[in-house]
Amino acid sequence: MCRIVAYLGEERVSLSSLVLKPDHSLLVQSYAPKEMMSGVVNADGFGTGWYAPEIDGEPAVYRSNAPIWADRSFASIAPKVSSSTILAAVRSATPGLPAEESGVPPFASGPYLFAHNGAITDFRATAMRPLRDSLSDISYSSLLGVTDSETIFALLLDRLREAKAPPGDAGSLAEATAETVQLVSKVCAKLGVYASLNIGVTDGEAMVFTRYSTEGPGNSLYFAESTGTSSNAVVVASERLDGDADWRQVPDRHLFAASTGGVTVRPLRW
């Protein structure tokens, strides 16, 4: 399991304002999460991705397999780096999967950042082979580790390449994400294994998250619009960052999308 937080807005905010400073920040959630369905801490690494469009369209990523509270370098950098799109996560490694940097979110490829809060039961012995067999050659050859998260991202990248959508096309990003969740859930259902699939992806201009599991309620997911960091912004988080009344829960088995055109929430049905 992991805890995720993301920001998309007109104004740039510092990494620390999202990841370190809130009352129930990602830092706090790393050692004192309130709503995790499995595990008690997120000590198996952390990462933050952000965009600098004045340089290019690909995100910068800072990842470590150390706990976020032990990384003084990030604590020094975070107040001095700002962006209008940020995706960050702390990790609790799924049992049976290695706690190494290749498995730490967010993952990046081209203009995309991706994170996964959840797990596929006994992934390496069950769904790993059929899911990876369905990958294109380019996605398969880009895999670095053996995690379910990286595999799901590779499946999503194949669908995004087929869509050829320009950055900011929230509809195409949402459709590719929904198709990926549907594929993974169907493979897992056929194998009789449980999958929790809260995933988040951004191209720097649009952002999509899902709250989904093959059985029972999915992991928690919230969003808040115009939180005070910007007059036109949205924050998405596995757990509410503070006690502000603006936080809304994404319903179970729903997809959340955000872009300059606004926010939409729709059910995932198949």
Place of tokens 């950055």: 167
d(CA 94, CA 96): 6
Q: 10-49 burial by CB neighbour count: b if 16+ within 10 A, else e? A: eebbbbbbbbbebebbbbbbbeebeebbebeebbbbbbbb
Tell me whether residue 188 is one of the annotated catalytic residues: no
Q: Which residues of 241-267 are buried (b: 16+ CB within 10 A; e: fewer)?
A: beeeeebeebbbbbbbbbbeeebebee
Report the half-sphere exposure of 25 (CA within 13 A, side-chain side).
Answer: 12
Six-digit token string for 24: 């129930």
Catalytic residue, from 1, 2, 15, 237: name it. Answer: 2
Residue with tokens 């294109």: 136
- CA gap 229, 137 in Å, rounded: 42
* Positions marked active-site: 2
